[in-house]
Each structure stands twice: as structure tokens, then as C-alpha cells.
Structure 1
Amino acid sequence: MNKRFWRFAMVPALLLAGAAIGQQFPMLDMVANRVVQKYQQSSCEQLWQERAAKQGQPKSEREQQAVQLLHTDPQMRAAFIDRVAAPIANKMFECGMIP
């Protein structure tokens, strides 16, 4: 009985923790939504063309700052990756960009 109680008690706690992370980084939430939306709305051909066009080009200053921020804040990085990894990986798999 006691184990069962703790399992049910953990679910709301985990949900609240996830909501707190989203509230903790509202800007990250907005950027992550844009990234996911871009991948979901782009065709495979568009993604392939964009990938080819970006090869060898330097990142914009804004993009460099965002990446630097993710490097310095492990909690923010984890929250960002948790939000974007699955949708991006699924789209790349569908498009043959990853095996």
C-alpha cells in the first residue's frame, strides 16, 4: 500500500517539476517552440537544402550567444534538449539525415 501511494504521489511532483522548468526559462521555451515548429513544418527537401547552404558558414552572433549560454548553464541546456531532441531526431530520421 505504501509503495503504491508513493508512485501516485510522484506523478504530480514530476509534472510540477516539468512545469517549473518551463516557467523558469520562458525565453528558452519560446526558442524551443520555434525550433520544433521549424522542423515540423519544413519538408525534407527544405531541410536538405538548408543543411547544404549552412555547411562551412559561420554562425550569426545571436546564435553564438545562445549556444554559449547553453554551454554555461547545464540546467537550461538540459531543458532545451529535452524539448527539441525528439521532434528534431524524428524529422531527421524521416528525411534520411540520420540512419
Structure 2
Amino acid sequence: MRKAKSPRLYSYAIAIPVLLFAGVASAQYRQYPLLDKAANKVIQKYQNSSCEQLWQERGQPQSQREQEAVNFLRSDPQMRAMFIDRVAAPIANKMFECGMIP
């Protein structure tokens, strides 16, 4: 009987830290609602755009608002790290699907 419990215990031992980390990461973004909103906007743009649209937009100049956001992130390394941590995976996945990165 003890062996039947060990895989279950092992699953809980892995799941609990993952859930705690997810909760901490989620709480981190809730402290910065504007950062969360901007990250969500970028993620939605990549998820809802076709590959063709992304290729066409790739060389286009940024809007004034986008330039201001980029300048802010350049001036604040902590906020930049949080933003990149949030958007990196969805953007990289879409870019990979579209052949924009190897």
C-alpha cells in the first residue's frame, strides 16, 4: 500500500511549488496594472494576428505611444524584466510558428 501513495505524494510535492510560484507571479503583475494591461495587449496582438500581418508590421515605425512605452522600459530594468518575462513565451511561440525565428 505504501508504494501506491508515493506517486501521489510525489505529484503533490511537485504541484505545490508550481502553484505557489504561479500565485506569486500573478500577484506580481497585479501590483502593476498598467504593465499587466500593456503585456496583455502585446500578447493579444501576437495571438490574434496572422503571420502575414506580423511580417507586414515588422518593419513599420512604432506609434508615439509605443515609443514612450519602450523608452520607459529602457529606463526601468525591473519593469522591463517583468514585462519581458510576461510576453516572451507567447511572442516567441508565434514568431516560431511564422518562421520569424529559427
TM superposition score category, shorter chain reference:
0.7 to 0.9
- Count of aligned positions: 91
Q: How far has the Cα of 1:74 moved from its partner?
A: 1.7
**CA distance, structure 2, for counterparts of residue 44 and residue 91 of structure 1:** 8
**CA distance, structure 2, for counterparts of residue 48 and residue 21 of structure 1:** 32
- 1:41 aligned residue (41, 45, 48): 48
**CA distance, structure 2, for counterparts of residue 89 and residue 81 of structure 1:** 11
Deviations 1:46-90 (A, max 9, x none): 1111114x1xx4x33322221121112222111110111011111
Unaligned runs of 5+ in 2: 1-13
Name the % identity.
63
What secondary structure is seen at the aligned counterpart in 2 of 1:66? helix
Read off the aligned partner of 2:75 and give its amino acid letter: T
Cα pair distance change 1:93/1:61, threshold 3 Å: same
Higher RCO structure, 1 or 2 (CA under 8 Å, sep 6+): 1
Moved over 4 A (4+): 7-13
- 1:88 aligned residue (91, 98, 102): 91
Per the alignment, residue 51 of structure 1 pairs with 58
Deviations 1:29-56 (A, max 9, x none): 011111101101111111111114x1xx
**CA distance, structure 2, for counterparts of residue 68 and residue 74 of structure 1:** 11
Read off the aligned partner of 2:38 and give its amino acid letter: V
**CA distance, structure 1, for counterparts of residue 19 and residue 91 of structure 2:** 28
- 2:24 aligned residue (4, 8, 17): 17
- Across the aligned residues of Structure 1 and Structure 2, the Cα RMSD in angstroms comes to 2.3
* Max Rg structure: 2
- Are the equivalent residues in 2 in contact too, given 1:36–1:88 (CA < 8 A)? yes
